[in-house]
Amino acid sequence: MAYVAVKGGRTAIEQACRYRELQRMPGISNPLEITQIVEQLGPLVDRIMGEGSLYAPDLAALSIKQAGGDSFEAAFILRAYRTTQPRIGYTPACSTADMRVIRRISPAFKDIPGGQVLGPTDDYSLRLVNFDLFRDSYNKHHTVVSKLLQEAAVTEAVPETFPKLVDLLRREGLLEEGDRHEPQIEDVTRESMQFPAARSAALQTLARGESGGMLCLAYSNMRGYGSVHPTIGELRVGYLSVETIHPHTGQSYIVGEVKVTEAEIISKTFTATGVPRMTLGYGLCFGHNETKAISMAVLDRSMQAERPEAPSEDEEFVLSHVDGIESMGFCNHFKLPHYVTFQSQLDRLRKTLQEEE
């Protein structure tokens, strides 16, 4: 909308947009290439794909470039593009047990079938500034990669699949999951969510949620403003095959794969009869985003509370506030003209003060 109450408002807005484009590249450095963003800013690209709800690395990188690195704006751009695309169909449910794993750990179990696979992570290093990156170059990086690949050639091969660790608890009857069957999976992009929400709708909303906002709510629960003290049963990062149904043969076939992060958290509870059990919280999101997946799993578990005692356990509160695009939009809309409503408030205030005098 234009600042119609101000003379020349439309022209001012057009010039502001042009100035924003100038600010996007204020220096003399070469423009960032989309390939560079995809290959060197992977965690940011993964985050934007998750919050934008579209697995498209090149488009996510383009959105990041267009937004000048603003993650909220980039996710907004990507999701806006998503809404313009036709809905071809739905993929059949897939099992993450078939994930092509690049990282798989369990803080809950020490010795696990297939072993701990640390994969790519900074979890076990100090967060010190690497000044060598000031002198970074392709040749230096290529040397490091070549050495890593040579060492990997003589190590033991990673198994193609790994068993799900929570199945061990299921077999022993230690896991309390309740009835999670749904006759039809809901689609929150097509229908407004109703409360109490179906679990499929809740998980979709969390998967599209803003990473920082979800971490804030999950962190509050972890710190005691809630009942969940989580233990990660299993954390996986890897590639899942995407299947679709052939329109003529009716047979499923693989059209590609997507990188995902999956977290299953375990927390102690009691049944209605007072018997102790373990309950499960589940999180899965696009790309390599472990903090978001863990936060999602904690919130999934916290919203299962029968008597919510904290904001992070209130399903309606959580699901209504984790979407970063909606939150950003509502926050930023206050920058638009509110002349009439504010003048009305001033008039009422002045009149009230005059009556009191």
Instruction: Give the separation between CA 189 and CA 186, rounded to whole angstroms.
Output: 9
Place 307 in a pLDDT band, splitting at 50, 70 and 90: confident
How would residue 182 be classed by pLDDT, with cut points 50, 70 and 90? confident
Concatenated DSSP letters of 229-261: --EEEEEEEEEEEEEEE-TTT--EEEEEEEEEE
The one-letter amino acid code at 280 reads L
- Out of 10-24, 33-47, 102-116, the most confident range is 33-47
How large is the average pLDDT for residues 207-220? 95
pLDDT confidence bin for 154, thresholds 50/70/90: low
- pTM for this predicted structure: 0.90
Q: What is the pLDDT of residue 273?
A: 66
| Non-local CB neighbours of 270 within 8 Å, separated by 6+ positions | 276, 277
Q: How confident is the model at residue 10 (pLDDT cuts 50, 70, 90)?
A: confident
Contacts 24+ apart (CB under 8 A), 186-195: 189/53, 193/319, 195/315, 195/316, 195/319
pLDDT band for 181, please (50, 70, 90 cuts). Answer: confident
H/E stretch holding 299: helix 290-302
How would residue 2 be classed by pLDDT, with cut points 50, 70 and 90?
very low
Q: What is the pLDDT of residue 167?
A: 85
Q: In the structure, what pLDDT confidence band is assigned to residue 1 with cuts at 50, 70 and 90? A: very low
Residue 153 pLDDT exceeds 60: yes
For residue 233, the model assigns a pLDDT of 92
Q: What is the pLDDT of residue 267?
A: 86
Of 4-13, 135-144, 278-287, 347-356, the least confident: 4-13
User: How many CA atoms within 13 Å lie on the side-chain side of 21?
Assistant: 5
Provide the terminal-to-terminal Cα distance of the chain, rounded to the nearest Å.
41
On average, the pLDDT of the chain sits at 88
Percent of the chain with pLDDT over 70: 94
